[in-house]
A = this chain, B = another copy of it.
């Protein structure tokens, strides 16, 4: 690339765009499906049951402790496939770039995507690039869509949730939210919190392959644990009770939450799994989770109950119960 910064012409579909695609994107993502650079990628799949997902990433800042928008955009979409019980296979990557971003920053993010995709064993097989004028975007937005295979016999759905089921979480909550917030606001902590941004497909695979008792899984991103459990409760038609003292939250995250006025149960996570499993399989699933580095701090945090239907109750450490509602209003914009 002869330029240092992205120009509007990089989005024109002409020579500079051609150069950008070849020297940055194709170089990082190279594979046999992407390399013809057709307007679509064509591939064969050995099965007919597929999962399809999409997410746009607008996180601010685009580099943060524990990750960047590129890593996030691959992990997030891999996770949305994985929690549906699918094996993630192919991703698309579409970039909306603000004119003037340093090409070196773009390259770092694209390389981070390539590395994350490689690690997660997914291929980026089709893509798109648009450039908008200065002040009409914010450095970089990335959309990734993903396709995965759902193997025979795997069926996960909130509709399978039953009273008595156990509610598990794979580790500490709120790391991503606090990492972004502190970095954004320039808050220095004694023990800095890193984003938990990670691809969960292997953890999910471990769990699915060892237990038939999985009802539904989710990754509690925007809106956090509280919002995700509310969605699951609403879809299942049953209630949930979770115990505050069993919910893993790091001391430094608790501290930051107290100072900043946040509730860790509403903070976004980018590498955590919530699993609703049959009572009988809870022990096995916890054990399996804890053997995987990404599930080391897994915990049983609650139970599905008949009443109150569609609601989530939080039992505090002194035994009080209160309704834990969905996130209302805005806690932290542009967290993912």
Contacts and interface: CB of A to CB of B under 8 A. Distances in A.
A54 B330 contact: no
A196 interface: no
A-side interface size class? 35 or more
A102 B143 CA distance: 23
Nearest to A47: B48
A53 B39 CA distance: 7
Contact of A50 (B42, B222, B231): B42
Identical copies in the complex: 2
Given A56-B143, A95-B56, A333-B11, A40 B81 contact: yes
A261 interface: no
Say what secondary structure dominates the interface of chain A: mixed
A152 B47 CA distance: 16
A49 interface: yes
A328 interface: yes
Interface string A317-335: 0000000011111110110
A39 B137 contact: no
A264 interface: no
A188 interface: no
A78 to B, nearest CB: 11
